[in-house]
Amino acid sequence: MTTRRAVLERLAVLSGTVGLAGCSRLLDPSAGEGVRGLAANPHADSLPETQFGQTDALRTDGDGNDIQPQYRRVLLLSLDAEPSNDAARTVERAMRTLEAAFEWAPDGLFHALAWGTDYFERIDAIEKSPIERPTVLSRTDDPDLQSYDAALVLSSDTASNLTRVENAMFGSSERLGDASVEHRLGAVFSVAGRRTGFMGAGLPREHADVEGVPADALSADDPMFTGFFSGRKRTQASEQRVRIDGGTFDGGTTMHLSHLTEDLDRWWTDFDAADRVTHMFSPDVTPEDVESFGTDVPFADAAREHAQEHGVVGHHEKVARARKDGEPLVLRRDFNTVDGGQAGVHFLSLQRDIADFRRTRRAMNGWYLRDENSQVTDRKNNGLLEFITVQSRANFYVPPRKGRAFPLL
């Protein structure tokens, strides 16, 4: 018997031969529990409705700040299959395999499937999507402006879980934890790029045998190559703040991913602890103050005055000016990397609107400050800008869990 859905799918496949724009009118995304005719996700009740909900599952440090997972991997994906209901079911089943195999917890696995600008252009829906292609955002950088179909974002405290997921989803492993692997993302996507990294005390020192950071500079406590912790609760947007509320994209968010390389020789050899604190926070903050920070970084909103008086401004005092109603706009899930043999950061941030990222990055540029004092330039005496170079940028949409397979199709 030919069902209505089979007819729709057949039409959708045919429409692929004459242009993908037709798909969105022909497919029936409302079938079943939002996932193209599949039975409801058996794991859904025990998982956050967003793909980025981690706060409730994370442990906290002595101050009450979230301890983020230590190991990260982002697989940048190219579509090999035409967007279709069949492909969507394969993707959804593959993602359910990850949910069957691991707890949604730091010692298990956090995962999200995000969709990029290439995908939305491919289905002729970029204008309707919540993202746009990345742009150059500073005068000092000439990044590779990238566009992908999708990205699989993985994190865990168990580094081997990330490799096991990659082998199961894009290789031939038949088992993943307790789950058997019958559906793979590799049936639909190929891996076009990989971003790997880590976050947490001591990990930068273990990886310091690369360009960009003096090997003996780091201590066993340092969570980042610059020596600072960057995850105080009130310097982060909440998950609620970055969640898109209502409309087609309800429960989703946007994701920016840039690769910053770091050149920290001068940071560690010419600067003392006070200079580093000045450049990271502000000239009116001392290393002792930083020791006493708990869940917040006090913020005087005096970058202009600091430029005038001290000829130098800090990273935090500039970016904190982008807050709205006292809360930052972006939820930073960035991580350290040694990809390419160079110390750096994969700056992964979530925000309700990509414009929130641009606003924050412009605040970080601090172009207005060189009018206050000629010692402050686009790079010099201007927070971290002397020490970082933006290599690439890409934008993604992170759908809610139930809509993670081929959004807008």
Q: Which is nearer to ligand HEM, 150 or 364 (CB)?
A: 364
Q: Which is nearer to ligand HEM, 155 or 360 (CB)?
A: 360
**Inter-CA distances, 262 with 17, 213, 229, Å:** 46, 8, 16
Site string (234-253) toward ligand HEM, x via CB under 6 A: -x------------------
User: How buried is 235 (Cβ within 10 angstroms: 0-12 exposed, 13-18 middle, 19+ buried)?
Assistant: buried
- Structure-token match 């003392």, residue found: 272
297 binds ligand HEM (CB under 6 A): yes
Q: Which is nearer to ligand HEM, 24 or 351 (CB)?
A: 351
Site string (264-283) toward ligand HEM, x via CB under 6 A: ----------------x---
**Pick from 3, 39, 54, 16: which is nearest to 350 by CA?**
54
Cα 271 from Cα 25, distance rounded (Å): 60
Give the number of other CB atoms < 10 A from CB of residue 276: 19
- Structure-token match 């859905």, residue found: 5
Q: CB of 140 within 8 A of CB of 362?
A: no
H-state helical runs in 315-403: 315-319, 354-365
218 binds ligand HEM (CB under 6 A): no
Rounded to an integer, what is the distance from CA 162 to the centroid of its chain? Answer: 16
**Window contacting ligand HEM (CB under 6 A); options: 117-125, 148-156, 221-229, 374-382:** 221-229
Number of residues near ligand HEM (by CB under 6 A): 27
**Inter-CA distances, 393 with 31, 85, 107, 134, 335, Å:** 35, 30, 29, 6, 15
Cα 272 from Cα 360, distance rounded (Å): 28
**For ligand HEM, which residue of 226, 278, 389, 395 counts as binding (CB under 6 A)?**
226
Can you spell out the DSSP letters for 130-149?
A: S--------SS---EE---S
**For ligand HEM, which residue of 231, 283, 366, 403 counts as binding (CB under 6 A)?**
231
Count of all residues that appear for the chain in the document: 409
303 binds ligand HEM (CB under 6 A): no
**Window contacting ligand HEM (CB under 6 A); options: 173-181, 304-312, 315-323, 399-407:** 315-323
- Structure-token match 């409302």, residue found: 30
**For ligand HEM, which residue of 81, 228, 250, 377 counts as binding (CB under 6 A)?**
228
Give me the least distance between CB of 140 and ligand HEM, in Å please. Answer: 12
**Pick from 228, 189, 222: which is nearest to 203 by CA?**
222
**For ligand HEM, which residue of 92, 99, 118, 262 counts as binding (CB under 6 A)?**
262
**Window contacting ligand HEM (CB under 6 A); options: 55-63, 172-180, 269-277, 325-333:** 325-333
Cα 338 from Cα 207, distance rounded (Å): 7
Number of helices (H), then strands (E), belonging to the chain: the values are 13, 12
Q: Which is nearer to ligand HEM, 168 or 285 (CB)?
A: 285
Q: Which is nearer to ligand HEM, 188 or 330 (CB)?
A: 330
**Window contacting ligand HEM (CB under 6 A); options: 38-46, 71-79, 153-161, 322-330:** 322-330
**Window contacting ligand HEM (CB under 6 A); options: 40-48, 164-172, 227-235, 265-273:** 227-235
224 binds ligand HEM (CB under 6 A): yes
Which residues contact ligand HEM by CB under 6 A?
Answer: 224, 226, 228-232, 235, 260, 262, 280, 297, 315-316, 319-320, 323, 328, 330, 332, 345, 347, 360-361, 364, 384, 388
